[in-house]
Chain A
Amino acid sequence: MSNSAYYELYRRSTVGVTLADALDTLISDEKIQPQLANTILSNFDRIIADNLKLDANVAKSKLTFKGVLSSYNLCDDVWTLIIKNVIIKMSDVSSEGASVTNSIDSEINVDKFKIVACNSKRAGD
């Protein structure tokens, strides 16, 4: 399986940054080689992409946002948007474990919101 089939985009997320941190720690302790760390990171690219797909049945929430588009940029098929004065609404369908209050709607106001989005057409498959 070729590594390039998956975006490295999600490495910037918390779970990706913390993994890179942990790998860096092991590298600086000379417990693993950098090449191995790269392999692990591309494993991560594949696993997080697969886990975010709907059929993985993990991420089911929907999110809507509305705001003033401050800047937009499309480069190499990657959109980078900066939206200001955003209202973000989330309908959370995670009713497992806790009480069964089905969906919890929540609304957050954010001054500045940055979106980095890759083309879904080329992802994964």
Chain B
Amino acid sequence: MSNFEARKLFENIVEDVINDSRQDFEDSGIDESTLQELRRIWCERLSQSQVAKFSWDDEEPEEPPSVSVGGGLNYPLVSNKSDIVGGGGGGGGLNTPDDTSNGNVLSYGNVTDSIGLELSKPEVDEDNSTGLLLPKINQADGTVEFTMYSETSKAKELIHKLKQNSNNQQRINQTDGTFGDDDDGDDDIFNDSDDINSDLDDDLESDKSDGESGEQEGQLMLCLYDRVQRIKNKWKFNLKEGIANIDGRDYVFHKATGESEW
């Protein structure tokens, strides 16, 4: 299936809104570069929502830097500390029973403190390794979407570009997955409360969580109605000029008709 129209519509809308807003920006004394920044952020968010494939995706395949940096920072930190645990922890543990002088006790006290802190962190490490199983599901979702693309857009060049982009996007999914799994692993007991607090979402890119919440609301159709009829329990709908989000993709339509029974 194709949602080429949605892509075209969205690209038209972005261009029109940016062009029509130029005067409003000028009137407010805001310069052109801010307007272009608005366009850039908007396009970025649209691409991340993955509701359609956009022409600007081909121009600049990019992964959101903050997410990848966050993932990159985590692993070195954890691994460094686990190294320290291996070296310092083992040595300290062996030496403390032998030495009884006050000075040594003080210094070893520091070491044991650090051990106490670090012992909890290898647990986080384990959670990472087990949690890595889950992101693979995310990856699978990603590839499914890409095969859908290749079915619709039959140009081979596009498929190649999609494959290149899919590598980037899989990385993004992975980092997100491990983040989420970290938190799940840490607080399995408090599953529900964690979801509500959504500190995890704040750590993530806010756009990602927005996209997910949009999908959770899911299958939403926004449109105008010409006529809604009812005969006993049978309803008929004549709708038009709408946008429907179905299974995470956006479709636009000129006319829609529906029948259903209550």
Contact = CB atoms under 8 A, between A and B. Distances in A.
Tell me, yes or no, whether A binds B: yes
Contacts of A52: 9, 241-243, 252, 254
- Kindly state the interface size class of chain A when it binds its partner: 35 or more
A34 B251 CA distance: 30
A2 interface: no
Given A96-B4, A119-B224, A120-B225, A63 B17 contact: no
A64 B58 CA distance: 33
B46 A14 contact: yes
B140 interface: no
Contacts of A25: 41
Given A47-B16, A63-B253, A115 B262 contact: no
Given A14-B46, A33-B28, A69-B261, A99 B154 contact: yes
Nearest to B227: A120
Nearest to B219: A113
A98 B251 contact: no
A20 B90 CA distance: 54
B38 interface: yes
B165 interface: no
A32 interface: yes
Interface of A: 7, 9-10, 12-15, 17-19, 21-23, 25-26, 31-33, 35-36, 39-40, 43-44, 47-49, 51-54, 56, 58-69, 72, 74, 79, 81, 83, 86, 88, 90, 92, 94, 96-99, 104, 106, 108, 110, 112-120, 123
Interface of B: 1-5, 8-10, 12-14, 16-17, 20-21, 24-25, 28, 30, 34, 37-38, 41-42, 45-46, 49, 51, 152-155, 206-207, 210, 214, 217-226, 228, 235, 237, 239-247, 250-262
What are the 8 closest A-B residue pairs judged by CB atoms, nearest first?
A: A106-B1, A18-B45, A120-B224, A94-B4, A22-B41, A52-B241, A117-B225, A63-B256
